[in-house]
Structure 1
Amino acid sequence: MKSRMRRVLLTTWMAAWMAGVSAGLVGCSNEDANTPTEGFAGLGAQAEGYAQASAAAPLAFPEDHGPHPDYRIEWWYLTANLEDESGHPLGLQWTLFRQALVPPEERPASTPWASDQVWMAHMGLSQGETHLAAERFARSHSEQPQGQAGVIAAPFQAWIDDWLFQSPATANFEQFTLSAYSGEGTERFGYELTLSAEGPLVWHGENGFNAKTVEGQGSHYYSQPFLRIEGSVTLNGQQKAVTGNGWLDREWSSQLLTAEQTGWDWFSLHLNDGRKLMAYRLRGGGENGGDYLFTHLFDAEGTTQQMGTDHITLTPLTTSRVAQRDIPTTWQLTLPNAGLDLTIEARDPNRWMPTTVPYWEGDVTVRDTATQAALGVGYLEMTGYEDLSAE
């Protein structure tokens, strides 16, 4: 009886989710969200009544490690490039998304059944031709810090059900543990990790405000790209010890994009010389209707070497048919002012996330375009590519 009631409540809540938050990141498909008035996944929809991201509000810690319920959308986004004990590469992702259902002035009073925030979490694990993904949903009220899902700034905790990413009270966003598993029996997969920061937090843009369009829409955005990781993963019925590097992204906004922007191609790269590189191409939102490109290159101390929209090119070189879409799985990225000409290639094209908002997310290799010498590894996320199955 309890199981049946839970299914009924979940079905009812999911129907409300799909109807009520189609103007936000969660709860709508790529195909439905690419409309002239909302942009990719509704991230270009107008957001009256919500707090707006701008450079006028510099980042502040530890508060900004926690949630910002007055903003419409937010995420805590971890990717990792790892190796198992045999030296075989492995990639993983864990992300917690928060979506406000109503602007702050329209919040319902706090009761056991009232909700003004919804949560979505993704986990992904990839090695060779194997790629596994899982998704969870929850709801909460912004005045109730404990519940099925949520985030606390200090001591840092981010969770949904038993998926838990946290930092001990004595660490200042520098030591973490992450535990997330999905499935049962031989189909069970997941990871148990310890993460240690070996460098500073990095702010992207002016005072941590990162513009995403020439019109000025954007997000508060910072990263911890210097994570050293060790632990274990469970995959294909085996438990494996792993080590490697991680990158944690933090963003919150109310209107991230413009209505014309149809998706993005996002890179986070660990270069062998200790430098880190974040770059993206937003399709639309640039000058004269073109693409909007941004990059941030910094050294092992977090000192910026290049940041902004100038002197960067991102060019797709080859595509692969993935989930009935033509997905660019080899790229050329050039930063002439930094002397970088990089070829970035997916380790395997099969890194599709078949989640409520579907997208491609996977580990990549980085080579020098001229010499083909290995220069590093990283992660690539691509959204908004057209489903061609009807052709």
Structure 2
Amino acid sequence: MKKIYWTIFALTLVAGIVWITAENEEDEITASISVAEAMGGGDEEGYLRATGPREFVFPDDHGPHPGFRTEWWYYTGNVFTESGRQFGYQFTIFRSQLNPPDSLNSDQQFYSNWNTDQLYLGHFAISDVEEEEHVFEERYSRGAAGLAGAQVEPYRIWLEDWEIIRMNPETSDDKNFPVQLKAKMEDGSAINLTVTPAKPLVLQGEDGYDKKGEEQGNASYYLAFTRMDTEGSITLNDQNFEVSGSSWMDHEWSTSALDREQEGWDWFSIQLSNGYDLMYYQLRNADGSVSRFTVGSLIDPEGNKTTITPEDVELEVLDRWTSPHSGALYPSQWKMSIPKYDIQLELATLFPDQEMDVSVRYYEGTLSVSGQMGGEQIGGNGFIEMTGYEE
């Protein structure tokens, strides 16, 4: 998901400025935001807040949650051709609400179907491990005139021709259903994948309520499918590859930004060869310490979750990589130990240059995984997201 909240909000600022300066006055989006608000979290008054555990209702809660300022549907995966060639992908659609739900003047006249306070952004990337090639694209659009949106019936999250669509609605479970992911970049790089939950839905944090800071409401609602069977095709450099493998999905929605002393995070999603999955995000404070709101979860092969605390985890950076694009110095190799559960892992990016050089830079890349659990040798695949390292 994991994205730092001000980062997502800053992305909405960039897109909003582009629209407002590019469209005629009558077509302008009915919202405005300052740089200070974007970088500092903005005025939260009037928005809905994540204030405690709640009951989830499906399929509704797989859809959008207007009233909350920020929301995203995030997919990553590692897939392979029949000959073993490996690709990683990231496909994320963000929704941002630019005005609180009660902020519009009831006497305001709407002259165009372009008017909306819903903004959608998308990030799409493919990593070719064999060629050490990472391609990516960012796009954005207003949630109006059919350009972008999110709906439950029929289930669809879309941004122009990038989309997440429910498969087999007549026969699938409303809580755990397969979806089709379709996206194509300007250069023709594309995915067309079907992802099907291989484990039950996980409610991260405290029954889906994931607290990230001291203040009331400084939290998100956080749902995840930590292992999804994946098959379909990847297109890269005018070549089409039939692939299969495993994906991970996070869906979060919230309003509040992180605490002021938090400058970034390192988020690991790991699928182990013994059927266990591990999520761990380490929130980093500006003074170099680890936030006490850092958390993780260990999911067993049947889908049962065990919460991991920062006291459970020893994470050591073994190597780093300097981005030639931004100058940011990112970790690239780690040793992770969780003695309480007899887990020792060696983690490394499969190749270094997987930085997302978009409106706000961050790192999103595929990982190699090896080590031991319970005294047995294990392998696996994973993804790492790192934010807050940019200069």
- Could you state the TM-score of these two structures normalised by the residue count of structure 2? 0.84
Q: 1:86 to 1:22 in 2, by over 3 A?
A: farther
Tell me, yes or no, if structure 1 residue 385 matches structure 2 residue 382: no
Identify the residue that residue 119 of structure 2 maps to in structure 1: 118
> How far apart, CA to CA, are the structure 1 residues paired with 2:100 and 2:90?
30
Out of 12, 16, 25, which is 2:22 matched to? 12
Identify the residue that residue 346 of structure 1 maps to in structure 2: 349
Structure 2 stretches lacking a partner, 5+ long: 1-17
User: What is the letter of the counterpart of residue 361 of structure 2?
Assistant: P
Tell me, yes or no, if structure 1 residue 332 matches structure 2 residue 326: no
Percent identity between the aligned chains?
34
Alignment of 1:16-95 (within 5 A): 20=33, 22=35, 33=39, 38=40, 42=41, 45-95=42-92
Q: Which moved more, 1:287-296 or 1:50-59?
A: 287-296
> How far apart, CA to CA, are the structure 2 residues paired with 1:312 and 1:89?
29
Tell me, yes or no, if structure 1 residue 198 matches structure 2 residue 198: yes
Out of 373, 379, 385, which is 1:375 matched to? 379
Alpha-carbon deviations, 1:321-380, whole Å to 9, x = none? 113110001122221111112121000111011111211001001111799955211111
Q: 1:264 to 1:118 in 2, by over 3 A?
A: same
Contact 1:55–1:207 (CA under 8 A) maintained in structure 2? no
Q: Which moved more, 1:171-180 or 1:325-334?
A: 171-180
> How far apart, CA to CA, are the structure 1 residues paired with 2:339 and 2:256?
32
User: What is the letter of the counterpart of residue 177 of structure 1?
Assistant: Q
Root mean square deviation, CA, Å: 2.9
> How far apart, CA to CA, are the structure 1 residues paired with 2:90 and 2:255?
24
Alpha-carbon deviations, 1:44-66, whole Å to 9, x = none? x4512111102242322211111
Out of 177, 180, 205, which is 2:183 matched to? 180
Q: 1:21 to 1:100 in 2, by over 3 A?
A: farther
Alpha-carbon deviations, 1:4-60, whole Å to 9, x = none? xxxx96753699899726467xxx7xxxx4xxxx2xxx4xx4512111102242322
Q: 1:222 to 1:23 in 2, by over 3 A?
A: farther
Paired residue secondary structure (2:102): helix
Q: 1:325 to 1:289 in 2, by over 3 A?
A: closer
Alignment of 1:230-309 (within 5 A): 230-284=231-285, 290=291, 292-309=293-310
Contact 2:121–2:139 (CA under 8 A) maintained in structure 1? yes
> How far apart, CA to CA, are the structure 1 residues paired with 2:376 and 2:281?
22
1:107 Cα offset (Å): 3.3
> How far apart, CA to CA, are the structure 1 residues paired with 2:250 and 2:265?
16
Q: 1:302 to 1:21 in 2, by over 3 A?
A: farther
Contact 1:176–1:195 (CA under 8 A) maintained in structure 2? yes
1:299 Cα offset (Å): 0.7
Contact 1:213–1:285 (CA under 8 A) maintained in structure 2? no
User: What is the letter of the counterpart of residue 115 of structure 2?
Assistant: A
- Could you state the TM-score of these two structures normalised by the residue count of structure 1? 0.84
> How far apart, CA to CA, are the structure 2 residues paired with 1:220 and 1:255?
11
Paired residue secondary structure (1:71): coil
Contact 2:31–2:98 (CA under 8 A) maintained in structure 1? no
User: What is the letter of the counterpart of residue 362 of structure 1?
Assistant: G
User: What is the letter of the counterpart of residue 156 of structure 2?
Assistant: Q
Contact 2:214–2:259 (CA under 8 A) maintained in structure 1? no
Q: 1:106 to 1:130 in 2, by over 3 A?
A: same
Contact 1:202–1:302 (CA under 8 A) maintained in structure 2? yes
Structure 1 stretches lacking a partner, 5+ long: 1-7
1:307 Cα offset (Å): 3.4
Paired residue secondary structure (1:337): helix
Q: How many residues align?
A: 357
Contact 1:285–1:291 (CA under 8 A) maintained in structure 2? no
